Amino acid sequence: MKDTVYDVAIVGAGMVGATLASLLSRAGFAVALVEAVEPAEFDPGADVGLRVSAISPGSAAILQQAGAWKKITAQRVRPYRRMQVEDGVEPEPLVFDAPVFNLERLGTIVENALLQWSAWQVVSAGGLIDTYCPDRLGGIELSGPHNRVSLGSGQVLKASLVVGADGAASKVRKTLGVRQAQFTYNQHGLVAVVGKQKPNPGVAWQRFLPGGPLAFLPLADGRSSIVWTRPSAEAERMMALDDPSFIAELDAASSGWLGAIETLGPRAAFPLSMRLSESYASRRTVLIGDAAHVVHPLAGQGVNLGFADAAALAELLIATRRAGGDIGSANVLRTYDRSRRSESETMAFGMHAIRSLFAIESLAPLRRAGLALVKRSWPVRDMLLQRAAGVGANAPSLARGTTLQELMRP
Ligand SMILES: Cc1cc2nc3c(=O)[nH]c(=O)nc-3n(C[C@H](O)[C@H](O)[C@H](O)COP(=O)(O)OP(=O)(O)OC[C@H]3O[C@@H](n4cnc5c(N)ncnc54)[C@H](O)[C@@H]3O)c2cc1C
């Protein structure tokens, strides 16, 4: 397929870009996928990685259609059926149980390395997708009915549509000149793998503390992957602590939950920000995943939003092709931009508001009232859960169980 004109050229084969490539090639589009760093083979013998994601049922359905979910679940993953939220003050936690909401599970904890490797295996098998790896985006030039994408290696690709899936520092976005509104939280997310006295029974547990939330996400071997949001200076101090001192602080912060900490792996800290692009589409080019938006990780929605972008775009392109339209037309770009930008802005501001409610002490009465409302109101809880599970009314139909074959049927 080299030296041909592609339907779609995707820059970035992270979790989101590789998933879009699989969806589109399975729907019969000619796809080029450019990735700077060849994904490392997932090693099930190595210890659990520091980066994990809570994959919603909606995202799992999308990954299933992309052909990656079976590969993922054949490895170490942990489904969770209960989510428990505490504010460190109220004695009664807020509890969400999957069966109560007619869900088989609330989500699945998966290592990012496994997600990316599984998606990469799908795209590299079968010769349906041309991969350019390792290679980098050089520039994008609008030329008639196609964009010309030049790569660092000197190769030039032509495509009706270019997709920037190249992460938060997206070169595609910069090349388009799309501006971003950015809010830096002055917080870091501290991550580590932790074993407590009692094994994690498959519960995603979160306690809101004055400096930021602390989450324990269940792993296949009974340990938990923690994400502890701390003010940046605090995070720096805590990264420098020796293991016993760090454990003492983590024990105090998670007291009452599964007993004392018995094991602690390496730690890492990631700066947290909210970034929203002013536009997700311009000049036969669209942005998906972190290239378009970065949200606070307190509800573990970042990559789930990215998978929903990928599914929504795939659905739009399939429908456009069926109608005989141009997949890079201004109309297609406008439709994608409107639907996905409003969805991720709603999520980003929702996360921002929840974070503020818990971070600003003077808002404590409002927070208590909000928690009480969620506890007693079934419709509010149901709405929140459907959204978090990625299967609400605004979710792409691939997330709600529609298959690619159904979308392609005349
Ligand atoms: C502490 C923390 C915890 C989180 N927990 C969760 C969670 O539980 N659930 C969740 O949904 N989200 C979570 N997130 C967010 C999630 O990690 C991101 O949303 C996700 O990694 C974004 O994936 P992506 O594929 O869009 O981008 P990336 O993973 O950044 O992938 C971009 C890809 O593009 C490639 N690339 C970059 N530039 C170029 C170029 N010029 N040319 C070619 N290739 C290029 C890169 O090599 C990379 O492979 C968390 C984030 C943090 C910080």
pLDDT tens by residue, 219-269: 999 999 999 999 999 999 999 999 999 999 999 999 889 999 999 999 999
Kindly give the distance from the C-alpha atom of residue 189 to the centroid of ligand 1, in angstroms, as a whole number.
Answer: 15
Distance of CA 117 to the CA centre of its chain: 15
CA 217–ligand 1 middle distance (angstroms): 19
Q: Residue with the nearest Cα to atom 51 of ligand 1?
A: 297
Q: 15-26 vs 112-124: helix axis angle to the nearest 10?
A: 30
- Residues with Cβ within 8 Å of 371's Cβ and at least 6 positions away in sequence, in order, are 87, 90, 94
Q: Tell me which residue has its CA closest to atom 27 in ligand 1.
A: 167
Ligand 1 atom, smallest distance to 306 CA: 26
Q: What are phi and psi of 333, to 5 degrees?
A: -60, -40
Side chain identity at 318, as an amino acid letter?
I
Q: Which residues pair with 267 in a beta bridge?
A: 192
- Give whole-number Cα distances, 77 to 112, 202, 217, in Å: 11, 11, 11
According to DSSP, the β-strands at 82-86 and 78-80 are unpaired
Integer-rounded Cα Rg, in Å, for the chain is: 21
C-alpha 328 – ligand 1 centre gap (Å):
25
Q: Indicate which atom in ligand 1 lies nearest the CA of residue 305.
A: 11
CB 374 within 8 A of CB 85: no
pTM of the model: 0.94
Q: Which atom of ligand 1 is nearest to the CA of 152?
A: 42
In the reported structure, the alpha carbon of residue 133 is separated from the centroid of ligand 1 by a whole-number distance in angstroms of 17
Q: How far is the CA of 14 from the centre of ligand 1 (A)?
A: 6
Among 121, 93, 130, residue whose Cα is nearest residue 5: 130
Q: Which of 119, 170, 151 is nearest to 280 (CA)?
A: 170
Q: Fill in the amino acid letter for 77.
A: V
Model confidence band, residue 3 (pLDDT cutoffs 50, 70, 90): low
Q: Which tokens belong to 156?
A: 């030039």
Residue nearest to atom 12 of ligand 1 (CA): 302
- pLDDT at 1 > cutoff 60: no
Question: What tens digit of pLDDT does each residue of 277-295 get?
Answer: 999 999 999 999 999 999 9
**Percent of the chain residues topping a pLDDT of 90:** 75
**Average pLDDT score, the chain:** 92
* Ligand 1 pocket, CB under 6 A: 11-17, 34-37, 53-54, 136-137, 165-167, 171, 189, 191, 227, 270, 289-290, 297, 300-304, 306
